[in-house]
Amino acid sequence: MQHEAPIKLTVDAVVFGYAKNDGVSLLLVQRAYEPFKNEWALPGGFVLAEEKLETAVERELKEETGIHVNYLEQLYTFGDPNRDPRQHVVSVAYFGLVKSSAYLQLKASTDASDARWFPIKKLPSLAFDHKKIVQLAIERLKMKVRYQPIGFELLDKKFPFSDLEKLYAALLDKELNRRNFSKKILSYGFLEETGELAKPEGRGRPSMIYRFNQKRYNELIKEGYHFEI
């Protein structure tokens, strides 16, 4: 006769950020305690009694990194009995995005001795099965930016069009045809000019500042429009 296993439940957060100089980066924490003490891992921890999963992941992010994530969705559930050396621990992983204005606002505490952004192409060795979780999240990110404008969640509220180009080139990991990309994005109608100009880089001319119109995007969705890059 088999007995019920004493399973624990955790949440982990795969949070992506973006900076022009670093490209797309992943938020990691350095573990302060065993197992895997001093190794890098995803922010996360055990779900408290009568705590909602979304509340748990938001709490862990705040406690371990000091940031709040506006865009957060459930990624996948990982339940391999051997994924945690302590006991059978099931993790519900979440996928999140933060705007570049919050990119440097990190403050490690509780179970984390440090919190840091790492370029997704230069990640350190990760604790537990977090490498597997991160790989799945990167695949989800690259797939989702093609049919939903979640890339705007990584930019500030106002931005020059060149920032949007650089972001999508980094997310899709390929060079973009600048003319075709610009024509396609502007044709959708949810990107609007602010009337402001960005400071020119070097001797270049100042460029127009844009913002994403969420209300117009929602209207387009109701009308049956499909976003695709």
Residues 6+ apart with CB under 8 A from 148: 227
Domain boundary residue, one of 147, 166, 196? 147
Answering whether pTM is above 0.75, one says: yes
State the 10-residue block means of pLDDT for the chain, 229 residues long: 78 92 90 95 96 97 91 96 95 92 74 90 96 97 92 91 92 90 92 88 80 92 84
Residues 18 and 126 reside in one and the same domain:
yes
- pLDDT of 19 reads 83
Residues 125 and 179 reside in one and the same domain:
no
Residues 16 and 120 reside in one and the same domain:
yes
Tokens for 166?
A: 């650089």
Q: Is residue 37 part of a domain?
A: yes
Q: Is residue 77 part of a domain?
A: yes
CATH code, domain carrying 212: 1.10.10.10
Residues 60 and 96 reside in one and the same domain:
yes
Q: Is residue 3 part of a domain?
A: no
Residues 206 and 119 reside in one and the same domain:
no
Q: Is residue 97 within 8 Å of 120, Cβ to Cβ? A: no
Residues 121 and 161 reside in one and the same domain:
no
Query: pLDDT tens-digit profile of 26-58?
Result: 999 999 999 999 999 999 999 999 999 999 999
Nearest to 40 by CA among 48, 31, 49: 31
- Quote the number of domains for the chain: 2
Residues 177 and 200 reside in one and the same domain:
yes
Query: pLDDT tens-digit profile of 91-120?
Result: 999 999 998 766 667 888 778 889 999 999
